[in-house]
Each structure stands twice: as structure tokens, then as C-alpha cells.
């Protein structure tokens, strides 16, 4: 972690300078990844290569910079929570969605049950497992998995996204904590769908195989107020994007969201598969680095995004 209030004097209109900054961000990511550890609580994720690292940037102006492992597929994991929330806002609306899940950072680990049992019947936000499972319980009443998959493909501008059966089976077999969450929600009478169907769709969405480029595209669409910059098609109402990006900023990086918000300052969402999507003012960024820190965030991804944010002045409060 480093921080300085000095504004670097860099000519960002110079293409070579932009490329140099991304090269440095990549090098920082590779270096940082050496001190991380791949997730192993889902057995299939333990097979990832901790040395993999890639970064992809896509700007509204149409520029793409991609370095390292940006085409290698990995499971989207918690980044699917962004897509599920977008679908819920689109198909059920703001009022209905947030009648069943709150908008508050929890400050707890992503899979915690603590506050759900002791503080509030409703999950704190859609970016933690309890909240995402609750959102999924609503979605099971209006969308099939295939429809959600199509929505994910459109949001990531990537027709190549597919269900990773190995990860899905691995999660289904070992996801007892998520099973506990869904039944706790049911026991409180707040769950909106059938528990096993809800869990199944939740696991499937976590098991979609994406790459760093699809995440950069997702970031770009969020940056572009929900509009596909190539086709001009609006995927959801621009107002919903504000809600999604706000929740990514406050809750998207697990119980590291506060520190990340200060040091990087870009609405982002991470997943334990090693991906991070970031939606800055003029660009989407996708990083892939399966070596994680203790909070479950990609350690290389955070290092790269810190560098990028500082040198390209991407902090939204700069």
C-alpha cells in the first residue's frame, strides 16, 4: 500500500505514456501476486496458477490496452453479483429489489452470517453472499438461468462466456455456508424464492467463465451508463447504473471496501476467482490474478489498480 497526494505530471493525451503506465501497473501486479494465495475453500479454485496476471483497459474513446493473461478464462465468482443486481433492477425495479435487501456496507467477510442472524433480518447489501442470494431468490421468479446467462453475455460484450461445470459442481458440493445462508433467510421468512433453486442459480452465476477482457467490457458498460458503446444499445436504465456503481464503491471489495475506496477510489467488484472489474470515469478495467490477499481480493489486481488510479488520476474524488 502506498499513498501520496502529489499529483504526477504526466501527459495522459500521449498514447506512449498511457501504455507505460499500464505496463508499470502490470509489473506491480505480477510482483504483488507473489505474496498472495489462491482460494482453496472451493476445491476447484485451488487449481489456479497463482503466477497468472493480466490487465485489460477499455476506454470510452475506443482504446484497448491489454497486457498479460487477458484471454485466459476463470470463474467470475462474486463479480456476478453486479450482473444479478443489474438484472434485478431491470426486471423488478429499485423499490422491489430494495424492499428485500439493504444498501449498507456490512464490514464483515463476504460469506458472514453474523449480522444476518443478530442485527437485521434483511441482508446488508447485494454485494455480499447473503444479499446476493436474496437477490437471486427474487430473480428465480422472473428469469431462467439461460436468460441470466444471456444478460451476462450482453453486459460483458462476450458471447464466449459459458458455465464452468467443474467449478459449479465443486461449489454445489462444498457450498455449505451458502446453504446455511439461504435457509437462515428462509427461516426468517424473508427469502423470496425456493431455496434450492435459488442456490443452484447463485452457484451457476458464480461459475461463469469470463476473462480480463470481458471484465473490462463490463466496467466500460457501467462507465457508459449501461449503453453498449459499439451497438448503442441500452442494457438497463442509466439511473440504475448509479445505484450499482455506488454499491460497488461502498461494498464491492468485501471488508476491504473502505481502504480500497480511499487508496484506489474507483467503483469496483472482486471475485475469489481472481477477477476485479473497475468502472472509472472514462474507462473500464478488468484484472485477473488468482493470488488473493487475506480479505479474498486479488492482491495483484489491487496493486495494479492502485498504480493506475494514481498515475491516471482515476480516483473519483480527485
Report the C-alpha gap between 40 and 50 in whole angstroms.
Answer: 12
Instruction: Indicate the residue among 158 and 171 with the shorter CB distance to ligand GLU.
Output: 171
**Residue 229 vs 252, nearer CB to ligand GLU:** 252
Instruction: List residues with catalytic annotation.
Output: 78, 81, 202, 254, 272
Report, in Å, the least distance between residue 182 CB and ligand GLU.
11
Rule CB under 6 A: say whether 293 interacts with ligand GLU: no
Size of the site for ligand GLU (CB under 6 A): 11
- As measured in angstroms, the least distance from the Cβ of 287 to ligand GLU is 14
Q: Which of residues 141-200 bind ligand GLU (CB under 6 A)?
A: 171, 178
State yes or no: residue 206 binds ligand GLU (CB under 6 A): yes
| 78 in contact with ligand GLU (CB under 6 A) | yes
Cα–Cα distance list, 17 to 147, 266, 312 (Å): 42, 21, 10
Least CB distance to ligand GLU at residue 216 (A): 18
Radius of gyration of the chain (CA): 18
The answer to the question of residue 77 lying near ligand GLU (CB under 6 A) is yes
DSSP lists the bridge partners of residue 234 as 227
280-301 burial, b if ≥16 CB within 10 A, otherwise e? beebbbbbbbbbbbebbbbbbb
**Which residues, including other chains, have CB under 8 Å from residue 272's CB and lie 6 or more apart?**
39, 42, 45, 77, 78, 292, 296
Which CB atom, from 74 or from 151, has the smaller least distance to ligand GLU? 74
Q: How far is CA 128 from CA 70, 160, 234, 290, in A?
A: 26, 26, 27, 19
Residues at the site binding ligand GLU, with contacts judged by CB under 6 A: 77-78, 110-111, 129, 171, 178, 206, 271-272, 296
Amino acid at each position: 500500500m502506498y499513498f501520496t497526494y502529489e499529483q504526477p505530471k504526466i501527459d495522459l493525451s500521449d498514447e506512449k505514456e498511457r501504455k507505460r503506465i499500464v505496463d508499470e501497473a502490470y509489473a506491480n501486479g505480477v510482483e504483488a501476486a507473489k505474496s498472495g494465495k489462491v482460494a482453496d475453500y472451493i476445491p476447484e479454485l485451488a487449481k489456479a496458477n497463482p503466477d497468472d496476471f493480466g490487465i485489460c483497459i477499455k476506454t470510452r474513446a475506443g482504446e484497448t490496452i491489454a497486457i498479460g493473461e487477458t484471454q485466459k478464462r476463470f470463474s467470475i465468482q462474486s463479480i456476478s453479483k453486479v450482473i444479478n443486481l443489474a438484472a434485478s433492477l431491470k426486471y423488478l425495479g429499485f423499490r422491489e429489489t430494495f424492499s428485500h435487501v439493504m444498501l449498507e456496507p456490512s464490514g464483515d467477510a463476504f460469506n458472514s452470517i453474523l449480522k444476518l442472524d443478530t442485527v437485521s433480518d434483511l441482508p446488508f447489501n447485494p454485494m455480499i453472499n447473503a444479499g446476493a442470494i436474496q437477490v437471486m431468490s427474487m430473480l428465480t421468479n422472473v428469469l431462467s438461468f439461460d436468460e441470466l446467462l444471456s444478460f451476462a453475455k450482453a453486459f460483458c460484450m462476450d458471447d464466449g462466456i459459458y458455465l464452468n461445470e467443474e467449478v459449479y459442481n465443486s461449489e454445489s458440493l462444498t457450498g455449505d455456508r451458502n446453504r446455511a445462508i439461504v435457509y437462515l433467510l428462509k427461516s426468517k421468512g424473508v427469502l423470496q424464492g425456493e431455496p434450492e433453486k435459488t442456490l443452484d442459480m447463485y452457484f451457476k452465476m458464480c461459475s461463469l467463465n469470463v476473462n480480463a477482457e470481458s471484465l473490462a467490457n463490463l466496467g466500460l458498460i457501467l462507465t457508459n451508463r449501461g449503453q453498449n458503446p459499439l451497438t448503442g444499445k441500452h442494457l438497463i436504465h442509466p439511473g440504475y447504473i448509479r445505484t450499482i456503481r455506488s454499491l460497488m464503491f461502498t461494498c464491492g471489495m468485501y471488508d476491504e471496501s473502505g481502504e480500497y475506496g480511499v487508496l484506489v477510489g474507483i467503483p469496483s467488484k472482486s471475485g475469489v476467482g481472481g477477477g476485479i472489474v473497475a468502472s472509472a470515469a472514462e474507462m473500464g478495467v478488468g484484472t485477473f490474478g488468482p493470488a488473493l490477499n487475506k480479505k479474498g481480493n486479488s492482491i495483484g489486481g489491487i496493486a495494479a489498480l492502485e498504480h493506475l488510479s494514481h498515475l491516471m488520476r482515476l480516483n473519483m474524488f480527485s
